[in-house]
Amino acid sequence: MTESTPARPEGMSAVRTTTAKQVRPATEGWTQAKDAEGRPLLQFASPKRGKPPVHLADLDHDARVEKLKELGMPGFRAAQLEKHYFQHYTSDPAQMTDLPAASRDELVGGLLPNLMTEVRRLETDGGDTIKFLWRLHDGALVESVLMRYTGRITLCVSSQAGCGMNCPFCATGQAGLTRNMSAAEIVDQVVRANRLIADGGLGDPRKVGHKDERVTNIVFMGMGEPLANYARVMQAVRTMVDKKHGLGMSARGITVSTVGLVPAIRKLSAEEIPVTFALSLHAPDDHLRDELIPVNSRWKVDEALDAAREYFEKTGRRVSIEYALIKDMNDHAWRADLLAEKLNARGRGWVHVNPIPLNPTPGSIWTSSDVDVQNEFVRRLNDAGIPTTLRDTRGKEIDGACGQLVATEEDQAAAASV
């Protein structure tokens, strides 16, 4: 659906007029779930399903010690299991020769139960990008994407099976929310990726130059809305950054994103864990964002930006604004100017914008902006003093890029055969 370009929101200064079309968000090939009042359905609560077994990564160190005592085993075994799982990336009892042979299987079964079964993996970029499809204990399917860059390795992790935010341009949101993932299911994606890297399964390790490489950066931009699964995501983050009893990663290398759950953003600000915070904005005006990001019906653009600015003030960490550029929908020059105006109104030096050319999803009629339009959008933001970098998109060929992760019928069939 198209219409003439909307007038600039009242109260904003004039900008150069544009004759670009205005495309309104609409679904193609699927029906968007609606509530009783006809609004896009938002799912904040996880549907009730059988819980995954309790795992080492669901617990802090003290709780792990207590769990072992409940199993009738000495608490000091917790440190040994932590070393095997978080440093050697294994849950295989046969490799844990420092544990007593008679009780090794029971120890591992009690604290390191299998959480995920690999259904398949797809590679692109000469083996530098790998997408994993995992089946969880209850049959739910999730994906994660491992990417090697020069000097770093990034893993895009899922935090929910499906997503309840119902954004019409995102393949994950089309399926709705199956359930929240446990903290251990989130962490296990990292451990399994580290195992693959250690085995030489990610391209050429000589690009980094040392044998002990591992995942250095985490982005919570896989399936799900991370802040809708707040407690488990934060437990996973604490385990990732725990240098003594966890993975020992840098908090600054972990990015937590959200479409704008304002109360949870404020809660994150008080955590005193300096992760990178990313707000998936995609439109600077409520008129469009109400349709593009349904959660905007709860918390408006200015509320989300205020909460993002508060995150910067409390943590000193610069905020990222994610902005998918969609042809003739949200890529107008005046929207770049309006975005710059809103960001600058909240101060300078607190934010960085990452425009992302839209990644195609099955059945979608939408497409990414033309290159000259992308460049103009970026130029206007940079000229306004907003540091802006067009995002390098990885994994489009294997449906592994932002907004493309979804369990298809083909995935379901493959999982049933494993």
- Token pair of 264 as six digits: 């949870």
Residue-wise burial string across 34-50, b where 16 or more C-beta atoms lie within 10 A, e elsewhere: eeeeeebebbeebeeee
Q: How many CB atoms lie within 10 A of CB 7?
A: 9
Distance of CA 369 to the CA centre of its chain: 23
158 burial via Cβ count (<10 Å: 0-12, 13-18, 19+) = buried
Catalytic pick among 82, 123, 143, 291: 143
Scanning 91-157, the segments in alpha helix (DSSP H) are 104-111
- 409 counts as catalytic: no
* CA–CA distance, 173 with 42 (Å, rounded to integer): 10
Which run of H or of E encompasses 381?
Answer: helix 371-383
326, 368 Cβ separation under 8 angstroms: yes
143 catalytic residue (yes or no): yes
For residue 272, count other CB atoms closer than 10 A to its CB.
Answer: 8
Residues 6 or more apart whose Cβ sits within 8 Å of residue 342: 284, 301, 302, 305
The catalytic residue among 156, 167, 170, 402 is: 402
**Smallest Cα–Cα separation from 303: which of 335, 281, 287?**
281
Per DSSP bridges, beta strands 2-3 and 22-23 are antiparallel
Contacts of 212 (CB under 8 A, 6+ apart): none
**Cα-trace Rg, the chain:** 22
Residue 85 carries which DSSP code? I
Number of H helices, E strands in the chain: 12, 13
CB 339 within 8 A of CB 284: yes
**How far is C-alpha 239 from the chain's CA centre?**
17
Give CA 254 to chain center in angstroms: 10
**C-alpha 400: how far from chain center:** 12
Residues belonging to the active site: 143, 402
